[in-house]
Structure 1
Amino acid sequence: MIGSSSIAVAALLALSPLAQAQAPTNQFPQTPLADKRYDSPAALPYKVDSDTGLLRGSQAGFNICNSTTENQSSLCQTSYFNSVEDFCIWGPIEKDSTVADTEGEMVAWCSKPGHGTRLIPQGALTGIQWIKTPDYVQAVGFLDQSQINIKAGDWGGEMDPHGADLRGNPMGGVIFSTAFGGSAKQVIEWHNFVGGNKFCFKACDPAGPNAAHFCEHIYDRIGCDYNIPNAAQDKVFESCLGDNQDYPGVYTSNGQVMTYTQPAESLGAISTMPYTPKVPASSSCSTFESAKVYTGLPTAAATTTSGGAAATGSVSGSGSATSKAGTAVGAKATGTAAGNGAGSVGVGLVSVMGVVGAVVFLS
């Protein structure tokens, strides 16, 4: 199995000389997404990903979001991760999409109105465990993924602010949080896995010295169980305090601290792992009823294909909500290539969103 960057290069070589001259040849942005800093949501440009002529095309949505952009067709790519009551996850623009095909174009779907985004429909969330630790906040949830436009049966993948081409997945996607005190702060390091009717999302304290380690993005093929070890349960809604986890990929065996190396996808599916992740201790848990917390949400919507108006009064952030920015290097759900230039793989069945059957996990 080969990575999509190789596929993109091969596709360019197959073009006629005239087509090669007109085709995008640069993969990397002038400034990586993870290096872009904004003091507040008010400081955001219309599009965070402003580079042009790159292999994956243009940013699909926009970042200036307010009441004029809040609807079930919004293309807002500014997300929030504040509390068990108020958080967002990434989901596709169009119904029945696979994560592998649309990870670069995901938009924000939020649990509470007020952010200028799409809203997670009533009843889609069936269980949530929110945990705040000394270095990060995380949510692990169960949901009907078809209600946020992910195709039923799709085992999904990973979104993070890096990606093989450094433009992030989604491209231009930024996150803010009030969970670390004071006003909303930009979260620099985060990762979000979604698929198999489950999601997990971790946002690391931007002031923390180990944010890049706790929110590691290189273990895209081993899912929630290994990147965000948890004891979340479907039908249970709770908010807790917790201890820090071990860094993803780091474990202790016979008293020795070890670091797992994710194998090359050319070696085939990951069917076994050398360790079982340790679930950190949690405390001070409060349970609640979802109906009392997730208010103001719409019922499941019809097909969503267009963007909401931007704060400037223009309509769609990309000019075409239905086009796929990553078509030249996009992946299929079979795992032949990843839309961000990273490889993908189907792995053997062990546990939901851990090492999972027919899962495509993308960095």
Structure 2
Amino acid sequence: MRRVLDIQKQLVPDLLEIMRKRYTILHHVMLSGNVGRRTLAGTLGMTERVLRGEIDFLKTQGLLEVDALGMRVSEAGRQLVESFRPLLQDAFGLTELEERIRNHYGLKQVIIVPGDSDASAHVKMELGRAGAAALRKAMKEANAVVAVAGGSTMAEVASHLTSAVPMKGVWFVPARGGLGESVELQANTIASTMAKKTGGQYRLLHVPDHLSEEAYQSLMLETGIVEIIQAIRAARIVVHGIGDAMVMAKRRKVDEATRQSLVSEGALAEAFGYYFDRQGRVVHKMPTIGLRIEDIEQMETVIGVAGGKSKGEAIDAVLRYGHEDVLVTDEAAALQIAEHMVREKQPETKNKSS
């Protein structure tokens, strides 16, 4: 099959682009459930005229169902999307890229979805679906405690979990306090959503995201707080997003002095309340209640889910920290990560030749 794809790329390269375009249309409609043509055209960045022609073709093939309420993927279309996904990964070199990144950073698994989640809500949805699949795989054993970070990507992961196989023995807990962010993006909200979606259970941590040292010491004397902290730190799995350091500092309303300190320390990435520099070193920690870096290092499975071209450098920084097990990302971020991998090797090549 690989040989056929290579020949096809050389003889009819346009055919691969057509396949990818039609797959993208089907896949987006499948994720949306039911969508109108105008909405779909806007989301995919296509003109309605071009999209109309593709929809007519897919409808004729029995892959799409269209009525006054919108479009839906038929059962045949759903099966085609599921079976075509691995072929698409291979055709566009994503399988090879997954393996390169996995080997370079010593990860157990890398999952790359096509596209750029910075530019497409459809890709962000697919990132969430892939993240949910990776989390379900890690939760196979009962009685696991899963620590969940906050953020829009984690909310997307939560939305794609299902109760097809109920996980009554699984507990979901927030990785850290989060009062202060938008409610729907707080770790508490996402942990409870994941529990309800999977048939699991959850506990919440009602404390602010940022604390003074005095407030931190005071809260750690509360029996209820200590109990939930112990449960969080006993987690075997953590699933988290990865953010650009300065974007996250601004979103969390970090004071100007701390922002300047982050800049001077070379902070590039943020994950679970810690800031990392280009070499993957922790350069700053926000004073929050929740998981500590030493807890992360003892985890059975650490799953990072993040995508978008703008996140490539930040993801690279967190991967260099060296305690991720699974990375779920998109094509745009993966290509940026690959560029960092190449630049890292260049000085070594020069040294060997000198």
Same fold (TM over 0.5): no
User: Structure 2 length normalisation: TM-score?
Assistant: 0.27
Question: With structure 1 as the length reference, what TM-score do the two structures score?
Answer: 0.27
Larger relative CO (CA 8 A, sep 6+): 1 or 2? Answer: 1
Structure (1 or 2) with the greater strand fraction:
1
**Is the radius of gyration larger for structure 1 or structure 2?**
2
Structure with bigger helix share is 2
